[in-house]
């Protein structure tokens, strides 16, 4: 495998969960993704996780059984497989083939790349308006082709962090970069856990000032003080030079 990937998820305890997170890692470890089911479906008696889980498993099938490597093709396959399931989800997929990272990101999940102490890249969220992200689902609000497609050339020991909005709404990009850079020699599993733990700590702190609150204030939208309680999922990849030298793991915290 070109990398070792590890994910960590924490579930929110709120009654109407703000989305249900899922993730997948292909058998060969080269394709992975995170998904955040849109929590509003719970109001209609629909499990928000059902669609995001179906999409994640469709992506895994595309990578493992169909041997697809292009993130958009994988997402499109999974989207078609999920027809008939009610719900919707954001999606962030990355595929590493050789030293090339290809990504497809739709909605307000996302990823960032850290090289040593340098932040190389971070995605920008896709939203129709505040708290209304681009999403794939039964209402056909978006298509897979609406995803932002990206390609990067990786170097040995680059670290890639995929995260749902439970992380990105509670930790500034600079916070995530600091965690990664200051634990650069750690395993992906440990880095993923640290990011999730910090995001969870901020989410339940009634005094914390988080990205979600900053965005709301900038738009003059009233929100509660403190962090944003939500599902939290982080998937961390440490890219290796050559076969067998990369490492990655995913962590899920469920509260």
**187-221 per-position pLDDT tens digit:** 998 999 999 999 999 999 999 999 999 999 999 99
Q: What is the pTM of this model?
A: 0.92
Cross-strand partners of 236: 6, 249
Mean pLDDT of the chain: 90
For 63, other C-beta atoms within 10 Å of its C-beta total: 26
Q: What is the pLDDT of residues 120-164, one digit of tens each?
A: 999 999 999 999 999 999 999 999 999 999 999 999 999 999 999
Least confident of 86-100, 107-121, 237-251: 237-251
Strands 118-122 and 31-37, bridge-based pairing: unpaired
Instruction: Give the Å distances, CA to CA, from 241 to 2, 3, 202, 229, 244.
Output: 7, 9, 35, 38, 8
Would you say 129 and 108 are in contact if contact means Cβ atoms under 8 Å apart?
Answer: no
Would you say 8 and 164 are in contact if contact means Cβ atoms under 8 Å apart?
Answer: no
């Amino acid at each position: 495998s070109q990398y070792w990937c590890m994910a960590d998820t924490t579930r929110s305890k709120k009654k109407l969960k703000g989305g249900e997170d899922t993730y997948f890692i292909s058998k060969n470890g080269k394709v992975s993704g995170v998904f955040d089911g849109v929590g509003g479906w719970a109001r209609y008696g629909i499990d928000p996780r059902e669609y995001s889980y179906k999409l994640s498993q469709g992506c895994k099938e595309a990578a493992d059984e169909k041997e697809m490597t292009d993130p958009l093709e994988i997402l499109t396959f999974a989207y078609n497989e999920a027809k008939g399931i009610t719900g919707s989800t954001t999606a962030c997929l990355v595929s590493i083939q050789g030293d090339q990272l290809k990504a497809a990101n739709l909605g307000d999940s996302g990823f960032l790349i850290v090289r040593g102490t340098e932040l190389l890249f971070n995605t920008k969220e896709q939203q129709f308006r505040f708290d209304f992200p681009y999403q794939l689902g039964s209402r056909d609000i978006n298509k897979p082709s609406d995803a932002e497609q990206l390609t990067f050339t990786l170097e040995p020991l680059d670290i890639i962090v995929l995260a749902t909005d439970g992380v990105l709404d509670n930790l500034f990009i600079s916070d995530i970069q600091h965690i990664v850079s200051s634990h650069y020699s750690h395993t992906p599993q440990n880095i993923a856990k640290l990011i999730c733990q910090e995001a969870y700590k901020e989410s339940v702190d009634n005094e914390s000032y988080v990205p979600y609150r900053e965005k709301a204030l900038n738009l003059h939208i009233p929100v509660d003080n403190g962090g944003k309680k939500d599902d939290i999922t982080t998937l961390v990849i440490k890219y290796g030079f050559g076969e067998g030298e990369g490492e990655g793991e995913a962590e899920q915290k469920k509260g």
